[in-house]
Amino acid sequence: MSDAGLKGKSMKKVTINSVAEYAGVSKKTVSRVLNNEPNVSPATREKVLKVFEELNYKPNPIARGLAQNRSFIIGCLYDNPSKSYITRVQSGALEACQKHSYNLLIHPCELRGQDLIDNVDQLLTTSRLDGIVLTPPFSDSNELIAFLKQRNIPYARVASAIEGDDSISIRSNDEQGAFELTEHLINLGHTEIAFIKGHPDHSATENRFSGYQKALTKHGIEYRERLVAEGNFSYHSGADSAKAILDLEPRPTAVFASNDYMAAAVLKLATQREIKVPEQLSIAGFDNAPIARHIWPGLTTIAQPVEEMTRIAVEELIKHISQPQEAPFQQVLEAKLITRESTKARSNS
């Protein structure tokens, strides 16, 4: 009655040696079966596999790592004020890692830290990573990328703007998304559309801004610099920008912030000042962060497939590690407009 439910077996350690002995073959043959190597007779392979089952054998990843000089660990670098973005990145990366029996090591650090390269160098020598996923803003750091190349560490870039280079890169179409969102506002009758930029180190910042401008141009609306505020993706920067924008005379009828946190800051200030959203002011964000639907009115925004981008990036990275290919893998995913209550046709008051 004791040990109930806990699959017993003998709790003795099962190593490659015990499997070999039990199956009556050499360690090396067991190793071959383990790694799906050729040149093992079907009969032998069968026999060994059966012993795996019977003894519930799991190879020791540490020993494998030592022999092959690998760690089976992928590192994930990030420096991002948005917690939700980080968790989405992690969740995509984890999915890919688990699928291929890798572990994920998360490493927050600062792009503008006193010495990023030293920091990463340290990370690499102490943790022996097999590869690194770069999330924004690291995906566009030429300095870091040059370092990784020189050290010959495989890497994949998520949501990067650098095109046509020879590395793995997955991104979504930010410019297109920003274009559609701006057009959505224009179609609602808005012409005075303020814009809050993101952090200058992120390539998304330039892309989203460019989408905004192109939509204006297409619809023959003059671009006015006074309607543009500099943010950095943080809620705080959004609050500062909101102040500048809502103080404008005449006040814009719509605000497009480069992410949802900054948009939420605009909404907060507008509400404090008793400016009615969306009746007197339309507000839109970008990312479809949780906060976009946790506030009232819900934010119109652009959803990007962050998990999927990261998952694909890590999968390709792992593929590349075990079998370096020539052709760099690059892919662009679609961003999608989500309309909620925060945007509305311009009133004729």
Residues that bind DNA (CB under 7 A): 13, 15-17, 24-32, 34-35, 38-44, 59-60, 63-64, 66-69
Minimal CA–CA distance to 98: which of 306, 307, 311, 309? 311
Q: Output the DSSP codes for 86-102.
A: HHHHHHHHHHHHHHTT-
Among 26, 50, 62, 223, binds a second copy (CB under 8 A): 62
Quick one: which H or E segment has residue 302? strand 301-303
Stretch 265-304 residues interacting with a second copy (CB under 8 A): 265, 267-269, 271-272, 290-291, 294-296
103 binds a second copy (CB under 8 A): yes
Residue 25 interacts, among a second copy, DNA, none and using kind-specific CB cut-offs from 5 to 8 Å, with: DNA
As measured in angstroms, the least distance from the Cβ of 3 to DNA is 23
Residue 73 interacts, among DNA, a second copy, none and using kind-specific CB cut-offs from 5 to 8 Å, with: a second copy
SS3 165: coil
Closer to a second copy by CB, 127 or 325: give it.
127
The amino acid at 96: A
As measured in angstroms, the least distance from the Cβ of 126 to a second copy is 6
Q: Output the DSSP codes for 54-120.
A: HHT----HHHHHHHHT---EEEEEE--S-HHHHHHHHHHHHHHHHHTT-EEEEEE--TTSTTHHHHH
115 binds a second copy (CB under 8 A): no
125 binds a second copy (CB under 8 A): yes
Closer to a second copy by CB, 3 or 225: give it.
3
Minimal CA–CA distance to 176: which of 338, 333, 285, 331? 333
Stretch 243-262 residues interacting with a second copy (CB under 8 A): 261
Q: Tell me which stretch binds a second copy (CB under 8 A): 64-72, 154-162, 165-173, 211-219.
A: 64-72
Closer to a second copy by CB, 219 or 273: give it.
273
Placement of tokens 């303020």 in the chain: 194
Structure tokens at 204: 């998304």
Q: Is the peptide bond before 137 cis (omega within 30 degrees of 0)?
A: yes
Long-range contacts of 269-277 (CB under 8 A, 24+ apart): 269/239, 269/242, 269/243, 270/242, 270/246, 273/246, 275/246, 275/251, 277/342
Ramachandran angles phi, psi of 289, nearest 5° = -70, 160
As measured in angstroms, the least distance from the Cβ of 69 to a second copy is 8
Minimal CA–CA distance to 262: which of 294, 229, 296, 225? 229
Closer to DNA by CB, 38 or 220: give it.
38
Placement of tokens 């559309």 in the chain: 193
As measured in angstroms, the least distance from the Cβ of 168 to DNA is 23
Closer to DNA by CB, 128 or 268: give it.
128
As measured in angstroms, the least distance from the Cβ of 71 to a second copy is 6
As measured in angstroms, the least distance from the Cβ of 15 to DNA is 4
Sign of CA dihedral 139, 307, 173, 318: positive
How are beta strands 301-303 and 336-338 bridged, if at all?
antiparallel
Q: Is the peptide bond before 38 cis (omega within 30 degrees of 0)?
A: no
Closer to a second copy by CB, 91 or 325: give it.
91
25 binds a second copy (CB under 8 A): no
Structure tokens at 188: 């609602």
52 binds a second copy (CB under 8 A): no
Angle between helix axes 27-34 and 42-55 (nearest 10 degrees) is 90
Among 264, 281, 314, 318, binds a second copy (CB under 8 A): 264
Stretch 195-234 residues interacting with a second copy (CB under 8 A): none
Binding-site ranges for a second copy (CB under 8 A):
6, 58, 60-63, 65-66, 71, 73, 83-84, 86-87, 90-91, 94, 101, 103-106, 108, 117, 125-128, 147, 150, 235, 261, 264-265, 267-269, 271-272, 290-291, 294-296
